[in-house]
Structure 1
Amino acid sequence: MRAVTLENERLRVTVLPDKGGDVIEFLHKPTDTDLVWLTPRGLRDPREHFQGAPDDVAPFADYYEGGWQDVFPNGGAPSEYRGARLAQHGEVFALPWECEVVADSPEEVAVRLGVRTRRLPYRMEKVLRLRYGAAALEIEASATNESGQRLHAMWGQHIVFGRPFLHPGARIRLPDGVTVIPHDVPIAPGGRRVKPGGPWQWPVVPAEGGGDLDLSVVPEPGTPSDIVYLTGFSEGWYEITGEIGFRVEWDAALLPYLWMWQEFGATTGYPWWGEAYTVGLEPFAGMPTNGLATAVENGTALVLEPYETKVLRLRAEVVA
């Protein structure tokens, strides 16, 4: 598969145009720390899979190497939308994207990626940029409805952290006023919570299997798996701090939810087999992980009017 490397004196970022534009390396040079988590199974080419089984419901899990993916237009479980069957996290993560270098100078390097979805009439583009002297990746992405129909979508940044960067005791920081929605709380039409979450005061929330989960501290291996949804962002940002820190900033008006999931080795079956030690902190439009049809029904899905373009700006920075 094709790979593109963007590099300055502080970062090296590697992207796979042939696999959804995945970010598979985010290396902070001064500390020789790769912020990207990669699975023990490694990188696999999804193009081989789709030639033989285009309607399989779980290609994302089968071909997930870790890293950082765009999720569009379906988030979470397989779903059907207006006659189109959409796989788990389908469909742009598995598609080959066009690739063009748009800047290559001492001041900045940048690459533009683009793709059309196959089952819905969308066009996506994103420009990834590194500037001189900055330990930050800047992304400007767009999603365009190329049809005359009013359409819905879920749009997320599937950002997952693991070792060597992630470790027990690392702290997760969020803006004041963020609220927590447990995974099992139903969402009423219009997006209103049937049962509101509590304020983000480094809350302790019930975890699956009993006990409590402190969302602000990365726990020890063996902690039960869980997922919650965070909302109420006046500003879209979070930080993970340890020996070095990592800060993600995004447009929370466009992606108003942050999916937070953890897998610390408690899942001993498919697809983790007890080998994962990860936290996902994923800015999203739409929730929960039940797929696009559910997000449309509960009013949290993104709406794109005929020929409308939505633009997302995101910045990911190492704080050392």
Structure 2
Amino acid sequence: MRNWAARLRHGTLGGLRSVVLENELLRVTVLPGKGGDVVEFLHKPTDTDFVWLSPQGLREPREHLHGAADDVAQFVDHYEGGWQEIFPNGGAPSEYRGARLAQHGEVAGLPWECEVVADSEQEVAVRLSVRTRRMPYRVEKTFRLRSGSAALEIEGQAANDSGVSLHAMWGQHIVYGAPFLRPGARIRLPEGVTVIPHESAINPPGRRVRAGGPWTWPVVPADGGGETDLAVVPEPGAPSDIVYLTGFTAGWYEIAADIGLRVEWDASVLPYLWMWQEFGASTGYPWWGRVHTLGLEPFSSMPTDGLAAAVANGTALALGPYEKKVLRLRAEVLV
């Protein structure tokens, strides 16, 4: 047990198993008891937490009684914000080869096993693992934090445990909100990125980006005329939307307000970046006009219509018999 340098703490949060990785600069709280979610990414010198926390708070799924359970509520009713691992289905409920997959199912709603793989003053690391229940997959991710570093390092692995060729969608549901995110915050991407609008408006009567495209990042045609700069976070009340960014020669983005965060990932595994924009214009379920949040989510596939749609358009991740895919990510605070 240490109170200095790199250190680990095990406990519970909202009745769920938690583990805290901490050093001189960062405190990162992970929930093995719920999807391996990251619910705190705190830069200690500035007291800045980068993750968005939903107004509905953290809910233990096994203790929550649904008003009317469905394949969307299974994720949304227990969504506390933060950062989720999405696998093997992204976005809307979908059916794949007889398996009915819920919104963003399956691993985000399951408890994960957790083991310590490094625990010294120089570095701490934990490995989380889970097996899906409707498809024959095993998913792992190792969180690593080194002494003196303002970067969280993650290595993920998805393995097909069957002799059958399969498909999947794999994503990192990273969402930003207050107090870090504010109007005027800016987003940087590599040169040459293009913007693909979602095929239909998700929140009538308006959206930020005109249908059609693809458009060139960051200034794009606005819905209803004119232009909108997607690199600048708008004021509360701006239209809700989702677009897909692609053309990454290297997988990275930076988002900055008073301080910033740089996220790097392997774009050969996750070639798309979903940009989810919910700035308070949605006044029905589940947001009720209460949120001002932005998701910048590296993904293997598009759109948000689920695995069957990604298979049909050729963007689904393919895993052959007993094949493994490895993904490395890094999130570093910029000051």
TM-score (norm 2): 0.89
Residue among 213, 219, 230 paired with 1:203: 219
Contact 2:71–2:93 (8 Å) recurs in 1:
no
State the 1:104 CA deviation: 1.0
Q: Deviations over 1:28-62 (max 9, x none)?
A: 01101111110111000123459998864431111
Aligned-partner Cα distance in 2 for 1:50–1:74: 24
Matches within 5 A, 1:6-25: 6-25=21-40
State the 1:27 CA deviation: 0.5
Aligned-partner Cα distance in 2 for 1:212–1:41: 34
Residue among 167, 182, 187 paired with 2:182: 167
In the alignment, structure 1 residue 40 sits paired with structure 2 residue 55: yes
Identity %: 75
Q: Deviations over 1:233-253 (max 9, x none)?
A: 000000011210111000000
Contact 2:197–2:213 (8 Å) recurs in 1:
no
Contact 1:44–1:63 (8 Å) recurs in 2:
yes
In the alignment, structure 1 residue 262 sits paired with structure 2 residue 265: no
Q: Deviations over 1:128-178 (max 9, x none)?
A: 000111101000000000000000000000000000000011110000011
1:153 aligns with: 168
State the 1:212 CA deviation: 4.1
Aligned-partner Cα distance in 1 for 2:259–2:267: 25
Residue among 229, 242, 253 paired with 2:268: 253
Contact 1:47–1:94 (8 Å) recurs in 2:
no
1:239 aligns with: 254
In the alignment, structure 1 residue 300 sits paired with structure 2 residue 303: no
1:215 aligns with: 230
In the alignment, structure 1 residue 61 sits paired with structure 2 residue 61: no
Shift in alpha-carbon separation, 1:146–1:51, aligned structure 2, 3 A: farther
Residue among 229, 233, 244 paired with 1:229: 244
Residue among 117, 125, 143 paired with 2:140: 125
Paired residue type of 1:89: H
Aligned-partner Cα distance in 1 for 2:110–2:197: 32
Q: Deviations over 1:174-215 (max 9, x none)?
A: 000111101118xxxxxxxxx651222x222334x7664320
2:205 aligns with: none
Aligned-partner Cα distance in 2 for 1:199–1:37: 28
How many residue pairs are counted as aligned between the two chains?
Answer: 310
Aligned-partner Cα distance in 2 for 1:310–1:129: 19
Paired residue type of 2:242: I
Matches within 5 A, 1:84-123: 84-123=99-138
Shift in alpha-carbon separation, 1:288–1:255, aligned structure 2, 3 A: same
SS at match of 1:271: coil
1:3 aligns with: 18
Aligned-partner Cα distance in 2 for 1:16–1:264: 27
Aligned-partner Cα distance in 1 for 2:91–2:27: 30
Deviates more, 1:63-72 or 1:48-57: 48-57
Aligned-partner Cα distance in 2 for 1:7–1:292: 36
Aligned-partner Cα distance in 1 for 2:85–2:231: 25
Contact 2:239–2:278 (8 Å) recurs in 1:
yes
Q: Deviations over 1:51-92 (max 9, x none)?
A: 998864431111100000000000000000000000000000
Aligned-partner Cα distance in 1 for 2:286–2:147: 40
Aligned-partner Cα distance in 2 for 1:166–1:302: 31
1:26 aligns with: 41
SS at match of 2:52: coil
State the 1:299 CA deviation: 0.2
Contact 2:71–2:103 (8 Å) recurs in 1:
no
Q: Deviations over 1:273-302 (max 9, x none)?
A: 101100100000111000000000000000
SS at match of 1:74: coil
Aligned-partner Cα distance in 1 for 2:66–2:88: 21
2:297 aligns with: 282
Paired residue type of 2:265: W
1:272 aligns with: 287
Shift in alpha-carbon separation, 1:172–1:43, aligned structure 2, 3 A: same
Contact 1:37–1:66 (8 Å) recurs in 2:
yes
2:10 aligns with: none
SS at match of 1:93: helix
Over aligned residues, Cα RMSD in angstroms? 1.9
